[in-house]
Amino acid sequence: MMADLVSFLLLKYRRKQPTTRAEMLSILRAYQHHFPVVFSQASECMQLVFGVDVKEVDPKEHLYILVPTLGLTCDGMQGDERSMPKNGLLVILLGVMEHFIYGEPRELITKAWVQEGYLEYRQVADSDPARHEFLWGPRAHAETSKLQVLEHLFRLNSKGPISFPSLSEEAVSNEEEGA
């Protein structure tokens, strides 16, 4: 239920279209009586995971718009229509900038985690202008799995893998390939 509504809201966000309560109810079909709870959970997921707020702009018509969290103008969506908004990660990174516990994030990411082999930082082939990407490093692959990381993130956000089926399928697939 919630995963279907989140998928629908992400589609509306990518298309820059508003949505209505009636449209969302049509997604829930037989579970329409659960709308308040499912809508609340889906809205929280959109905000925490994707950095997108669901805002009601017309209470009479129950019209909602989807906007980047904190009014950020970068929606973090690069690539094709299937790409996901990445502002959730940006908000987390902005929250830890020069954090008194973690220190300066660039140093933590590039000097600690890259040097220790948890992350790999490399230039994207044939990118002009030059772009760089972070990948799992050999030490991360040796010590954990995508499924374990995903399960940890679900616990952290009090969510279950069923809430994010596409991420869960990828993690399970990677787990099976490695087994």
Each residue's pLDDT tens digit, 99-113? 555 566 677 777 778
Please tell me whether residues 105 and 158 are part of one structural domain: yes
Please tell me whether residues 10 and 57 are part of one structural domain: yes
- Asked if the model's pLDDT at residue 22 lies above 60, the reply is yes
Mean pLDDT of the chain: 78
Concatenated DSSP letters for 58-100? ETTTTEEEEEEGGG-S-----SSTT----HHHHHHHHHHTTBT
In the predicted model, what is the mean pLDDT of residues 104-128? 82
Which structural domain range is residue 102 located in? 87-178
The pLDDT score that the predictor gives to residue 23 is: 97
> With bands split at pLDDT 50, 70 and 90, how would you rate the model's confidence at 78?
very low
Which positions ≥6 away from 85 have C-beta within 8 Å?
Answer: 10, 13, 50, 51, 52, 68, 75, 76, 77
Which positions ≥6 away from 141 have C-beta within 8 Å?
Answer: none
In-domain check, residue 79: no
* Boundary (domain end) residue, out of 22, 39, 71: 71
- Asked if the model's pLDDT at residue 79 lies above 80, the reply is no
CB count within 10 Å of CB 95 equals 9
For the question of whether the overall pTM of this predicted structure is more than 0.85, the answer is no
